[in-house]
Amino acid sequence: MADDRPPSLPPTEPRVVVVTGAARGIGLGIALAFAAQHDAVALVDIDPAVTKVAGELQDDGVEAHAWVGDVARREDVERCLDEVAGRFGRVDVLVNNAQAGGNPAPLIETTPEHLELAWRSGFVGTFTAMQIAFPHLRATRGCVINMVSGAALSEPPGFSAYAATKSAIKTLTRIAATEWGPDGVRVNAISPSARTPALDEWAGAHPTDYAARIAQIPLGRMGDARDDIGAVAVFLAGPSAAYITGQTIVVDGGVHHLG
């Protein structure tokens, strides 16, 4: 019987992985997880600090390069992806992690500016990056990994703009997987929960609330951005996940589930 599986990269050839929102937190953790696999990582962030992060990774022997840009601006996304493809000659993995506007507010108090920030940085940025990256990913039979949130699964009060944005990204993931499957491009999403600098700051200011949050996690701890979330991203981009597409993988210690 003929083997019609897509060709995979030779074990010694690194992938080219683009991670948005990579200056810190989960985005950085995902980039570090791919770097540990000897992949080349392109770090994209609106924060110029991403340049320093890339330099530190280079000092550690990682092939890392930074692009400063706003994913809400199509011209910035085009520039970043064109330059990544020009430098490396290919794009194998796109991780859409960038998201702003996660500060809670009741729906009635959510301002147009807050809604616009959440929607454009999250959904529009993800949609745009996927569109622009598609020709590169089709050429390499690559994959997309989008980041959603437990807020899109449990719809907590106070997160209308953020949760709606993440829910839209989850739906976009499924649609793209259906449309792009014939081209060999897989599209999945991760719903993560992990320690980040922002979470640590919040925990320091609200220790009682943080302890209550930990108590709700069956595994009894927050995830690690690299070892827990990043490891799943590496798996989804690898050959062991070659038959997985259109899925949202919940990586939050057991708080939420898709049934």
Positions marked active-site = 162
- Residue 139: in which H helix or E strand, if any? helix 125-140
**Are the CB atoms for 88 and 64 separated by under 8 Å?**
no
**Are the CB atoms for 143 and 190 separated by under 8 Å?**
no
Determine the longest span between alpha carbons in the chain, in angstroms.
62
Tokens of 11: 């074990």
Q: What is the dihedral of CA 121, 176, 180, 95, to 10 degrees?
A: 40
**Are the CB atoms for 137 and 84 separated by under 8 Å?**
no
67: helix, strand or coil? strand
**Are the CB atoms for 114 and 101 separated by under 8 Å?**
yes
**Are the CB atoms for 218 and 253 separated by under 8 Å?**
yes
- Helix pair 160-180, 112-119: axis angle to 10 deg: 30
Name the residue type at position 142: G
**Are the CB atoms for 44 and 35 separated by under 8 Å?**
no
